[in-house]
Amino acid sequence: MAKRLFIKTYGCQMNVYDSARMADVLAPLGYAPACEAAAADMVILNTCHIREKAAEKVFSELGRLRRLKAARARRGGAMIVAVAGCVAQAEGAEILRRAPFVDMVFGPQAYHRLPEMVARATRAGSGVLETDFAPEPKFDSLPEAAAPQGISAFLTVQEGCDKFCTFCVVPSPRGAEYSRPAGEVLAEARRLVAAGAREITLLGQNVNAYHGRSPEGGGAWGLGRLIRALAGCEGLVRIRYTTSHPLDMDEELISAHGEVPALMPFLHLPVQSGSNRVLAAMNRRHTVDEYRRVVARLRAARPDIALSSDLIVGYPGETEAEFRATLALVGEVGFAQAYSFKFSPRPGTPAAAMAGQVPEAVKEERLAELQALLRAQQTAFNRACVGRTLPVLFERAGRHPGQLVGRSPYLQAVHARVPEARRAELLGTVAELSIRSALPNSLSGALVAGGAAAGAEIERASA
Ligand code: SAH
Ligand code: SF4
Ligand code: F3S
Protein backbone atom coordinates (compact mmCIF):
# COMPACT_ATOMS: atom_id res chain seq x y z
CA MET A 1 0.00 0.00 0.00
CA ALA A 2 1.28 3.47 -0.84
CA LYS A 3 2.57 5.44 2.08
CA ARG A 4 1.96 9.16 2.28
CA LEU A 5 4.57 11.85 2.74
CA PHE A 6 3.97 15.48 3.73
CA ILE A 7 6.82 17.98 3.63
CA LYS A 8 6.37 21.47 5.04
CA THR A 9 9.01 23.86 3.76
CA TYR A 10 10.22 27.03 5.44
CA GLY A 11 12.94 29.48 4.42
CA CYS A 12 14.70 30.03 1.14
CA GLN A 13 14.40 28.47 -2.32
CA MET A 14 17.24 26.10 -1.49
CA ASN A 15 14.94 24.48 1.02
CA VAL A 16 12.25 24.24 -1.65
CA TYR A 17 14.74 22.41 -3.88
CA ASP A 18 15.86 20.19 -0.99
CA SER A 19 12.25 19.27 -0.22
CA ALA A 20 11.71 18.18 -3.82
CA ARG A 21 14.87 16.07 -3.66
CA MET A 22 13.81 14.48 -0.35
CA ALA A 23 10.57 13.42 -2.01
CA ASP A 24 12.68 11.91 -4.83
CA VAL A 25 14.80 9.97 -2.32
CA LEU A 26 11.69 8.64 -0.56
CA ALA A 27 9.70 7.74 -3.69
CA PRO A 28 11.44 4.35 -4.17
CA LEU A 29 10.41 3.47 -0.61
CA GLY A 30 6.79 3.84 -1.66
CA TYR A 31 6.11 7.35 -0.36
CA ALA A 32 3.69 9.41 -2.44
CA PRO A 33 2.70 13.01 -1.67
CA ALA A 34 -0.06 13.68 0.89
CA CYS A 35 -2.06 16.88 0.78
CA GLU A 36 -1.97 17.49 4.52
CA ALA A 37 0.00 16.41 7.58
CA ALA A 38 -3.01 14.69 9.17
CA ALA A 39 -3.16 12.22 6.27
CA ALA A 40 0.55 11.43 6.20
CA ASP A 41 2.60 8.44 7.35
CA MET A 42 5.67 10.66 7.40
CA VAL A 43 5.86 14.40 8.02
CA ILE A 44 9.06 16.33 7.41
CA LEU A 45 9.50 19.92 8.55
CA ASN A 46 12.21 21.44 6.37
CA THR A 47 13.23 24.33 8.56
CA CYS A 48 14.90 27.75 8.43
CA HIS A 49 17.08 29.31 11.11
CA ILE A 50 17.66 32.73 9.57
CA ARG A 51 15.61 34.84 11.98
CA GLU A 52 14.15 34.11 15.38
CA LYS A 53 10.59 34.07 14.06
CA ALA A 54 11.42 31.43 11.46
CA ALA A 55 13.00 29.13 14.04
CA GLU A 56 10.16 29.60 16.54
CA LYS A 57 7.59 28.44 14.00
CA VAL A 58 9.16 24.99 14.05
CA PHE A 59 8.45 24.36 17.71
CA SER A 60 4.84 25.53 17.46
CA GLU A 61 4.33 23.30 14.41
CA LEU A 62 5.89 20.40 16.32
CA GLY A 63 3.26 20.86 19.05
CA ARG A 64 0.55 20.36 16.45
CA LEU A 65 2.31 17.30 15.00
CA ARG A 66 2.61 15.71 18.45
CA ARG A 67 -1.18 15.76 18.72
CA LEU A 68 -1.66 14.41 15.18
CA LYS A 69 0.80 11.60 15.85
CA ALA A 70 -0.96 10.68 19.10
CA ALA A 71 -4.36 10.69 17.39
CA ARG A 72 -3.00 8.38 14.72
CA ALA A 73 -1.52 6.02 17.31
CA ARG A 74 -4.93 5.81 19.01
CA ARG A 75 -6.36 4.62 15.69
CA GLY A 76 -3.64 1.98 15.49
CA GLY A 77 -1.55 3.86 12.91
CA ALA A 78 1.92 5.35 12.95
CA MET A 79 3.45 8.63 11.87
CA ILE A 80 7.15 9.33 11.40
CA VAL A 81 7.97 12.92 12.32
CA ALA A 82 11.22 14.40 11.02
CA VAL A 83 12.91 17.78 11.37
CA ALA A 84 15.24 18.66 8.50
CA GLY A 85 17.00 21.77 7.29
CA CYS A 86 18.86 24.55 9.04
CA VAL A 87 17.20 24.44 12.48
CA ALA A 88 17.87 20.69 12.57
CA GLN A 89 21.51 21.29 11.72
CA ALA A 90 21.87 24.06 14.28
CA GLU A 91 19.88 22.62 17.17
CA GLY A 92 20.32 18.87 16.56
CA ALA A 93 19.96 16.95 19.81
CA GLU A 94 18.19 19.88 21.46
CA ILE A 95 15.16 19.18 19.22
CA LEU A 96 15.04 15.54 20.33
CA ARG A 97 15.28 16.72 23.93
CA ARG A 98 12.50 19.31 23.63
CA ALA A 99 10.30 17.13 21.40
CA PRO A 100 11.06 13.47 22.21
CA PHE A 101 8.32 12.20 19.89
CA VAL A 102 10.40 13.37 16.90
CA ASP A 103 11.82 10.35 15.05
CA MET A 104 14.52 11.90 12.91
CA VAL A 105 16.57 15.10 12.96
CA PHE A 106 18.89 15.67 10.02
CA GLY A 107 20.71 18.57 8.43
CA PRO A 108 20.78 19.80 4.80
CA GLN A 109 23.79 17.60 3.97
CA ALA A 110 22.27 14.31 5.13
CA TYR A 111 19.00 13.80 3.31
CA HIS A 112 20.45 11.38 0.75
CA ARG A 113 20.66 8.96 3.71
CA LEU A 114 16.91 9.15 4.37
CA PRO A 115 16.15 5.49 3.49
CA GLU A 116 18.68 4.28 6.02
CA MET A 117 17.44 6.78 8.63
CA VAL A 118 13.84 5.67 8.11
CA ALA A 119 14.87 2.04 8.64
CA ARG A 120 16.79 2.95 11.79
CA ALA A 121 14.00 5.11 13.19
CA THR A 122 11.41 2.39 12.58
CA ARG A 123 13.62 -0.24 14.24
CA ALA A 124 15.00 1.72 17.12
CA GLY A 125 11.94 3.53 18.35
CA SER A 126 14.20 6.36 19.46
CA GLY A 127 15.26 9.52 17.66
CA VAL A 128 17.84 9.35 14.86
CA LEU A 129 20.23 12.29 14.60
CA GLU A 130 22.26 13.00 11.41
CA THR A 131 24.07 16.30 11.24
CA ASP A 132 27.12 15.38 9.17
CA PHE A 133 28.55 17.94 6.89
CA ALA A 134 30.10 17.24 3.47
CA PRO A 135 27.78 18.24 0.59
CA GLU A 136 29.72 16.26 -1.99
CA PRO A 137 28.49 12.77 -1.04
CA LYS A 138 24.94 14.12 -0.94
CA PHE A 139 24.90 15.31 -4.56
CA ASP A 140 26.76 12.17 -5.66
CA SER A 141 24.19 9.85 -4.19
CA LEU A 142 20.93 11.63 -4.93
CA PRO A 143 18.74 9.70 -7.35
CA GLU A 144 18.83 10.84 -10.95
CA ALA A 145 15.12 10.28 -11.37
CA ALA A 146 13.21 13.28 -10.14
CA ALA A 147 9.52 14.08 -9.99
CA PRO A 148 8.79 16.89 -12.47
CA GLN A 149 9.04 20.28 -10.76
CA GLY A 150 6.79 21.98 -13.27
CA ILE A 151 7.42 24.72 -15.80
CA SER A 152 9.68 26.74 -13.52
CA ALA A 153 12.22 24.58 -11.72
CA PHE A 154 14.96 25.10 -9.14
CA LEU A 155 18.43 23.66 -9.48
CA THR A 156 20.95 23.99 -6.66
CA VAL A 157 24.45 24.53 -8.10
CA GLN A 158 26.24 25.84 -5.03
CA GLU A 159 25.86 25.39 -1.30
CA GLY A 160 27.33 26.98 1.75
CA CYS A 161 28.97 30.28 2.45
CA ASP A 162 32.47 31.47 3.34
CA LYS A 163 31.49 35.12 3.79
CA PHE A 164 30.56 35.17 7.48
CA CYS A 165 28.48 38.31 7.65
CA THR A 166 28.33 39.05 11.36
CA PHE A 167 24.52 38.82 11.58
CA CYS A 168 24.03 35.59 9.66
CA VAL A 169 23.61 31.97 10.78
CA VAL A 170 23.78 30.43 7.30
CA PRO A 171 27.49 29.50 7.26
CA SER A 172 26.91 27.36 10.31
CA PRO A 173 24.11 25.04 9.07
CA ARG A 174 25.16 25.08 5.41
CA GLY A 175 28.92 24.80 5.81
CA ALA A 176 31.73 25.97 3.55
CA GLU A 177 31.19 26.90 -0.09
CA TYR A 178 30.82 23.97 -2.43
CA SER A 179 30.07 24.08 -6.17
CA ARG A 180 28.66 21.13 -8.08
CA PRO A 181 30.64 20.13 -11.20
CA ALA A 182 29.32 21.91 -14.32
CA GLY A 183 28.69 18.64 -16.17
CA GLU A 184 26.46 17.41 -13.36
CA VAL A 185 24.50 20.68 -13.41
CA LEU A 186 24.03 20.55 -17.20
CA ALA A 187 22.84 16.95 -17.00
CA GLU A 188 20.33 17.79 -14.29
CA ALA A 189 19.13 20.80 -16.31
CA ARG A 190 18.53 18.55 -19.33
CA ARG A 191 16.52 16.15 -17.17
CA LEU A 192 14.43 19.01 -15.79
CA VAL A 193 13.73 20.28 -19.31
CA ALA A 194 12.84 16.76 -20.49
CA ALA A 195 10.35 16.65 -17.59
CA GLY A 196 8.70 19.88 -18.76
CA ALA A 197 10.73 22.72 -17.23
CA ARG A 198 11.06 25.82 -19.44
CA GLU A 199 12.67 28.05 -16.83
CA ILE A 200 15.44 27.10 -14.44
CA THR A 201 16.51 29.15 -11.46
CA LEU A 202 20.03 28.30 -10.38
CA LEU A 203 20.33 28.34 -6.62
CA GLY A 204 23.07 28.86 -4.09
CA GLN A 205 23.54 30.70 -0.81
CA ASN A 206 26.11 32.62 -2.83
CA VAL A 207 25.24 31.42 -6.26
CA ASN A 208 27.57 33.82 -8.06
CA ALA A 209 30.54 32.49 -6.10
CA TYR A 210 29.98 29.34 -8.19
CA HIS A 211 33.21 27.74 -9.41
CA GLY A 212 32.32 24.21 -10.49
CA ARG A 213 34.67 21.77 -12.17
CA SER A 214 34.50 22.25 -15.94
CA PRO A 215 33.09 19.34 -17.96
CA GLU A 216 36.35 18.99 -19.91
CA GLY A 217 38.26 18.74 -16.67
CA GLY A 218 40.97 21.24 -15.90
CA GLY A 219 39.90 24.47 -14.28
CA ALA A 220 36.60 25.68 -13.04
CA TRP A 221 33.65 27.47 -14.59
CA GLY A 222 32.22 30.61 -13.06
CA LEU A 223 28.49 31.24 -13.07
CA GLY A 224 28.61 33.35 -16.26
CA ARG A 225 30.22 30.48 -18.15
CA LEU A 226 27.71 27.99 -16.73
CA ILE A 227 24.80 30.21 -17.79
CA ARG A 228 26.18 30.51 -21.33
CA ALA A 229 26.39 26.71 -21.55
CA LEU A 230 22.89 26.27 -20.12
CA ALA A 231 21.51 28.67 -22.69
CA GLY A 232 22.41 26.04 -25.30
CA CYS A 233 20.12 23.50 -23.64
CA GLU A 234 17.31 22.97 -26.13
CA GLY A 235 13.85 23.66 -24.75
CA LEU A 236 15.11 25.86 -21.92
CA VAL A 237 13.80 29.36 -22.55
CA ARG A 238 14.54 31.22 -19.33
CA ILE A 239 17.41 31.22 -16.85
CA ARG A 240 17.55 32.99 -13.49
CA TYR A 241 19.85 32.72 -10.49
CA THR A 242 19.71 33.63 -6.82
CA THR A 243 21.13 34.73 -4.35
CA SER A 244 24.12 36.78 -5.35
CA HIS A 245 26.71 38.64 -3.32
CA PRO A 246 27.77 42.02 -4.75
CA LEU A 247 31.43 41.08 -4.34
CA ASP A 248 31.10 38.08 -6.66
CA MET A 249 29.51 39.87 -9.65
CA ASP A 250 32.38 39.31 -12.09
CA GLU A 251 32.70 40.59 -15.65
CA GLU A 252 31.73 37.29 -17.28
CA LEU A 253 28.47 37.19 -15.32
CA ILE A 254 27.65 40.86 -15.87
CA SER A 255 28.29 40.62 -19.60
CA ALA A 256 26.11 37.50 -19.80
CA HIS A 257 23.20 39.79 -18.90
CA GLY A 258 23.80 41.68 -22.11
CA GLU A 259 24.60 38.70 -24.32
CA VAL A 260 22.44 35.73 -23.27
CA PRO A 261 18.81 36.34 -24.27
CA ALA A 262 17.57 33.47 -22.05
CA LEU A 263 19.07 35.14 -18.98
CA MET A 264 16.23 37.17 -17.52
CA PRO A 265 16.73 40.88 -16.75
CA PHE A 266 16.10 40.55 -13.03
CA LEU A 267 18.64 40.26 -10.27
CA HIS A 268 18.31 39.82 -6.52
CA LEU A 269 21.39 41.57 -5.18
CA PRO A 270 21.25 42.10 -1.41
CA VAL A 271 22.91 45.28 -0.15
CA GLN A 272 21.74 45.11 3.52
CA SER A 273 22.58 48.74 4.37
CA GLY A 274 23.36 52.09 2.79
CA SER A 275 25.95 53.02 5.39
CA ASN A 276 29.62 52.21 4.92
CA ARG A 277 30.17 51.97 8.66
CA VAL A 278 27.33 49.48 9.05
CA LEU A 279 28.44 47.48 5.99
CA ALA A 280 31.94 47.20 7.46
CA ALA A 281 30.56 46.20 10.87
CA MET A 282 28.46 43.56 9.09
CA ASN A 283 31.61 42.24 7.40
CA ARG A 284 29.90 42.59 4.04
CA ARG A 285 33.27 43.38 2.44
CA HIS A 286 31.93 45.96 0.04
CA THR A 287 31.14 49.65 0.32
CA VAL A 288 28.09 51.57 -0.84
CA ASP A 289 30.11 52.88 -3.77
CA GLU A 290 31.19 49.42 -4.84
CA TYR A 291 27.53 48.37 -4.82
CA ARG A 292 26.65 51.43 -6.94
CA ARG A 293 29.37 50.51 -9.43
CA VAL A 294 28.12 46.93 -9.77
CA VAL A 295 24.62 48.28 -10.42
CA ALA A 296 25.95 50.72 -13.00
CA ARG A 297 27.84 47.95 -14.85
CA LEU A 298 24.75 45.73 -14.81
CA ARG A 299 22.64 48.55 -16.21
CA ALA A 300 25.23 49.26 -18.87
CA ALA A 301 25.12 45.59 -19.93
CA ARG A 302 21.34 45.31 -19.73
CA PRO A 303 19.63 48.70 -19.44
CA ASP A 304 16.23 47.32 -18.43
CA ILE A 305 17.53 45.04 -15.67
CA ALA A 306 15.23 45.11 -12.63
CA LEU A 307 16.86 44.90 -9.23
CA SER A 308 15.78 43.39 -5.97
CA SER A 309 17.52 43.43 -2.61
CA ASP A 310 17.60 42.41 1.04
CA LEU A 311 17.88 45.14 3.67
CA ILE A 312 18.34 44.99 7.42
CA VAL A 313 17.28 47.77 9.77
CA GLY A 314 18.40 48.14 13.37
CA TYR A 315 21.78 46.46 13.09
CA PRO A 316 23.61 46.98 16.44
CA GLY A 317 24.78 50.57 16.68
CA GLU A 318 22.80 51.74 13.63
CA THR A 319 22.17 55.45 14.11
CA GLU A 320 19.28 57.45 12.71
CA ALA A 321 21.67 58.98 10.16
CA GLU A 322 22.91 55.54 9.09
CA PHE A 323 19.34 54.39 8.64
CA ARG A 324 18.68 57.54 6.53
CA ALA A 325 21.65 56.52 4.38
CA THR A 326 19.88 53.22 3.67
CA LEU A 327 16.73 55.10 2.65
CA ALA A 328 18.83 57.35 0.44
CA LEU A 329 20.53 54.41 -1.30
CA VAL A 330 17.18 52.72 -1.90
CA GLY A 331 15.86 55.98 -3.34
CA GLU A 332 18.87 56.28 -5.59
CA VAL A 333 19.00 52.69 -6.91
CA GLY A 334 15.25 52.18 -7.32
CA PHE A 335 14.31 48.56 -6.65
CA ALA A 336 11.60 46.68 -8.51
CA GLN A 337 11.01 44.77 -5.27
CA ALA A 338 12.97 44.07 -2.09
CA TYR A 339 12.82 42.24 1.21
CA SER A 340 13.49 44.08 4.43
CA PHE A 341 13.98 42.77 7.92
CA LYS A 342 14.48 43.91 11.48
CA PHE A 343 17.86 42.77 12.72
CA SER A 344 17.31 39.54 14.65
CA PRO A 345 20.11 38.48 17.00
CA ARG A 346 20.98 34.88 16.16
CA PRO A 347 22.71 32.44 18.50
CA GLY A 348 26.44 32.19 17.94
CA THR A 349 26.74 35.15 15.54
CA PRO A 350 29.07 38.07 16.41
CA ALA A 351 26.34 40.70 15.92
CA ALA A 352 24.11 39.09 18.54
CA ALA A 353 26.70 39.84 21.22
CA MET A 354 27.52 43.38 20.08
CA ALA A 355 26.91 46.44 22.19
CA GLY A 356 24.37 48.98 21.00
CA GLN A 357 21.45 46.65 20.28
CA VAL A 358 18.68 48.83 18.83
CA PRO A 359 15.39 48.87 20.77
CA GLU A 360 12.55 46.90 19.20
CA ALA A 361 10.34 50.01 18.86
CA VAL A 362 13.03 51.82 16.87
CA LYS A 363 13.50 48.82 14.59
CA GLU A 364 9.73 48.71 14.05
CA GLU A 365 9.63 52.37 13.09
CA ARG A 366 12.58 52.11 10.72
CA LEU A 367 11.18 49.00 9.09
CA ALA A 368 7.81 50.65 8.54
CA GLU A 369 9.44 53.68 6.92
CA LEU A 370 11.69 51.58 4.70
CA GLN A 371 8.86 49.30 3.67
CA ALA A 372 6.68 52.26 2.73
CA LEU A 373 9.44 53.45 0.40
CA LEU A 374 9.98 49.97 -1.06
CA ARG A 375 6.26 49.51 -1.59
CA ALA A 376 6.08 52.82 -3.42
CA GLN A 377 9.00 51.81 -5.64
CA GLN A 378 7.46 48.43 -6.41
CA THR A 379 4.10 50.01 -7.23
CA ALA A 380 5.79 52.57 -9.47
CA PHE A 381 7.75 49.85 -11.23
CA ASN A 382 4.61 47.78 -11.81
CA ARG A 383 2.62 50.82 -13.00
CA ALA A 384 5.34 51.70 -15.49
CA CYS A 385 4.69 48.34 -17.16
CA VAL A 386 1.08 49.25 -18.00
CA GLY A 387 0.73 49.83 -21.71
CA ARG A 388 3.84 47.81 -22.55
CA THR A 389 3.87 44.42 -24.24
CA LEU A 390 5.78 41.87 -22.18
CA PRO A 391 6.72 38.25 -22.89
CA VAL A 392 5.14 36.09 -20.18
CA LEU A 393 5.96 32.47 -19.48
CA PHE A 394 2.68 30.84 -18.49
CA GLU A 395 3.21 28.53 -15.53
CA ARG A 396 -0.17 27.51 -14.15
CA ALA A 397 -3.91 28.04 -14.05
CA GLY A 398 -5.03 31.04 -12.04
CA ARG A 399 -7.53 31.16 -9.21
CA HIS A 400 -10.34 32.37 -11.45
CA PRO A 401 -11.83 30.31 -14.25
CA GLY A 402 -10.27 31.03 -17.60
CA GLN A 403 -7.17 32.56 -16.06
CA LEU A 404 -3.52 31.64 -16.58
CA VAL A 405 -0.67 32.96 -14.47
CA GLY A 406 2.88 33.46 -15.55
CA ARG A 407 5.89 35.67 -14.96
CA SER A 408 7.24 38.66 -16.81
CA PRO A 409 11.00 38.84 -17.49
CA TYR A 410 11.17 41.00 -14.35
CA LEU A 411 9.66 38.22 -12.20
CA GLN A 412 6.31 39.95 -11.80
CA ALA A 413 3.33 37.62 -11.62
CA VAL A 414 1.06 38.30 -14.60
CA HIS A 415 -2.56 37.16 -14.84
CA ALA A 416 -4.39 36.82 -18.11
CA ARG A 417 -7.70 35.48 -19.26
CA VAL A 418 -7.24 33.17 -22.20
CA PRO A 419 -9.75 31.30 -24.34
CA GLU A 420 -10.51 27.80 -23.02
CA ALA A 421 -9.41 26.20 -26.27
CA ARG A 422 -5.91 27.66 -26.06
CA ARG A 423 -5.17 27.11 -22.39
CA ALA A 424 -3.36 23.79 -22.62
CA GLU A 425 -1.31 24.90 -25.62
CA LEU A 426 -0.25 28.15 -23.91
CA LEU A 427 0.96 26.60 -20.64
CA GLY A 428 4.73 26.36 -20.69
CA THR A 429 5.08 28.81 -23.56
CA VAL A 430 6.08 32.45 -23.68
CA ALA A 431 3.27 34.66 -24.95
CA GLU A 432 3.26 38.37 -25.68
CA LEU A 433 0.88 40.11 -23.30
CA SER A 434 -0.31 43.65 -23.46
CA ILE A 435 -0.22 44.84 -19.84
CA ARG A 436 -3.52 46.42 -18.85
CA SER A 437 -3.30 47.05 -15.14
CA ALA A 438 -0.98 46.83 -12.18
CA LEU A 439 -1.60 45.84 -8.58
CA PRO A 440 1.10 46.17 -5.92
CA ASN A 441 2.12 42.52 -6.33
CA SER A 442 1.05 41.57 -9.83
CA LEU A 443 0.08 42.66 -13.32
CA SER A 444 -2.75 41.69 -15.55
CA GLY A 445 -2.61 41.54 -19.30
CA ALA A 446 -4.27 40.34 -22.47
CA LEU A 447 -2.91 38.11 -25.19
CA VAL A 448 -1.47 39.75 -28.24
CA ALA A 449 -1.59 37.03 -30.86
CA GLY A 450 0.37 37.72 -34.02
CA GLY A 451 -0.77 41.27 -34.70
CA ALA A 452 -3.15 43.83 -33.32
CA ALA A 453 -6.33 42.57 -34.98
CA ALA A 454 -5.98 39.01 -33.77
CA GLY A 455 -4.98 40.36 -30.40
CA ALA A 456 -8.10 42.46 -30.19
CA GLU A 457 -10.24 39.52 -31.16
CA ILE A 458 -8.78 37.29 -28.51
CA GLU A 459 -9.21 39.98 -25.91
CA ARG A 460 -12.90 40.23 -26.77
CA ALA A 461 -13.32 36.47 -26.71
CA SER A 462 -11.75 36.28 -23.27
CA ALA A 463 -13.27 39.39 -21.76
N1 SAH B 1 23.08 34.49 0.94
C2 SAH B 1 22.28 35.59 0.77
C3 SAH B 1 21.08 35.68 1.69
C4 SAH B 1 21.03 34.90 2.93
S5 SAH B 1 19.76 35.14 4.08
C6 SAH B 1 23.12 36.83 0.84
O7 SAH B 1 24.25 36.81 1.23
O8 SAH B 1 22.66 37.88 0.51
C9 SAH B 1 18.59 36.20 3.36
C10 SAH B 1 18.52 37.54 4.01
O11 SAH B 1 18.09 37.44 5.34
C12 SAH B 1 19.84 38.28 4.09
O13 SAH B 1 20.19 38.85 2.89
C14 SAH B 1 19.57 39.27 5.18
O15 SAH B 1 19.02 40.46 4.67
C16 SAH B 1 18.52 38.59 6.03
N17 SAH B 1 19.09 38.18 7.31
C18 SAH B 1 20.05 37.26 7.54
N19 SAH B 1 20.33 37.19 8.85
C20 SAH B 1 19.54 38.07 9.47
C21 SAH B 1 19.37 38.49 10.83
N22 SAH B 1 20.10 37.97 11.80
N23 SAH B 1 18.43 39.43 11.10
C24 SAH B 1 17.70 39.98 10.11
N25 SAH B 1 17.83 39.64 8.83
C26 SAH B 1 18.73 38.71 8.49
FE1 SF4 C 1 24.75 34.95 5.24
FE2 SF4 C 1 26.41 36.79 4.40
FE3 SF4 C 1 26.75 34.26 3.64
FE4 SF4 C 1 24.71 35.67 2.72
S5 SF4 C 1 26.89 36.11 2.35
S6 SF4 C 1 24.64 33.60 3.49
S7 SF4 C 1 24.17 36.96 4.45
S8 SF4 C 1 26.95 35.04 5.70
FE1 F3S D 1 16.91 29.65 6.10
FE2 F3S D 1 18.77 27.84 5.84
FE3 F3S D 1 17.81 29.06 3.72
S4 F3S D 1 18.62 29.32 7.46
S5 F3S D 1 17.26 31.06 4.49
S6 F3S D 1 16.70 27.74 5.06
S7 F3S D 1 19.90 28.44 4.06
Domain ranges of the chain: 3-130, 138-384, 389-452
Instruction: Specify the pLDDT at position 457.
Output: 36
Q: Which CATH architecture has domain 138-384?
A: Alpha-Beta Horseshoe (3.80)
Write the Ramachandran bin of 423: left for phi over 0, alpha for psi from -120 to 50, otherwise beta.
Answer: alpha
**CA nearest 282: which of 354, 208, 377?**
354
Would you say the CB of residue 245 lies under 6 angstroms from ligand 2? yes
Instruction: Specify the pLDDT at position 139.
Output: 85
Would you say the CB of residue 165 lies under 6 angstroms from ligand 2? yes
Instruction: Specify the pLDDT at position 55.
Output: 82
What's the burial of 67, exposed, middle or buried (CB within 10 Å: 0-12/13-18/19+)? exposed
Cα Rg of the chain (Å, integer): 23
Q: Residue 272's beta-bridge partner residues?
A: 311
Q: What is the DSSP letter of 50?
A: S
Contact predicate 325/283, CB 8 Å? no
Ligand 1 nearest atom to the CA of residue 169, by list position = 19
Beta strands in 403-447, from DSSP E residues, in sequence order: 403-407, 413-417, 430-438, 442-447
State pLDDT tens for residues 413-425. 999 999 988 999 9
Task: Give the distance from CA 49 to its chain's centroid.
Answer: 15
Nearest ligand by distance to the CA of 50: 3
Those residues with Cβ within 8 angstroms of residue 212's Cβ, 6 or more apart along the chain or in another chain: 157, 158, 179, 180, 181, 182, 184, 185, 220, 221, 226
Name the 3-class secondary structure at 416.
strand
For the domain spanning 3-130, the CATH number is: 3.40.50.12160
- From the options 2.40.160.20, 2.40.50.140, 3.30.56.10, 1.10.10.10, give the CATH code of 389-452: 2.40.50.140
Rounded Cα distance, 436 and 282, in Å = 43
Assess whether the previous peptide bond of 243 is cis (omega < 30° from 0).
Answer: yes
Instruction: Specify the pLDDT at position 452.
Output: 38
Instruction: Specify the pLDDT at position 282.
Output: 98
**Measured distance between the N- and C-terminal CA atoms of the chain, rounded to whole angstroms:** 47
Among 89, 174, 242, 245, which is best to mutate for testing ligand 2, by the most ligand atoms less than 8 A from CB? 245
Those residues with Cβ within 8 angstroms of residue 103's Cβ, 6 or more apart along the chain or in another chain: 80, 81, 82, 121, 127, 128
Rounded Cα distance, 224 and 420, in Å = 40
Instruction: Specify the pLDDT at position 456.
Output: 36
Q: Whose CA is nearest to atom 7 of ligand 3?
A: 170
- In tens digits, what is the pLDDT along the chain, a chain of 463 residues? 689 999 999 999 999 999 999 999 999 999 999 999 999 999 999 999 999 888 888 999 999 999 999 999 999 999 999 999 999 999 999 999 999 999 999 999 999 999 999 999 888 767 888 887 776 678 888 888 788 889 999 999 999 999 999 999 998 888 889 999 999 999 999 999 999 999 999 999 999 999 999 998 879 999 999 999 999 999 999 999 999 999 999 999 999 999 999 999 999 999 999 999 999 999 999 999 999 999 999 999 999 999 999 999 999 999 999 999 999 999 999 999 999 999 999 999 999 999 999 999 999 999 999 999 999 999 999 999 999 999 999 999 998 888 999 999 999 999 999 998 899 999 999 999 999 999 989 999 999 965 333 333 333 333 3
Contact predicate 167/343, CB 8 Å? yes
Name residues contacting ligand 1 (CB within 6 A).
Answer: 50-51, 167-168, 170, 205-206, 243, 245, 270, 272, 310, 312, 341, 343-344, 346
Contact predicate 8/37, CB 8 Å? yes
User: Residue type at 6?
Assistant: F
- Give the pairing type, strands 104-106 and 80-84: parallel
- The reply to whether domains 3-130 and 138-384 share a CATH topology is no
Name residues contacting ligand 3 (CB within 6 A).
Answer: 11-12, 14-15, 48-50, 85-86, 169-170, 173-174, 205
Instruction: Specify the pLDDT at position 381.
Output: 97
Compute the distance from residue 50 Cα to the ligand 3 centre, in Å: 6
Nearest ligand by distance to the CA of 16: 3
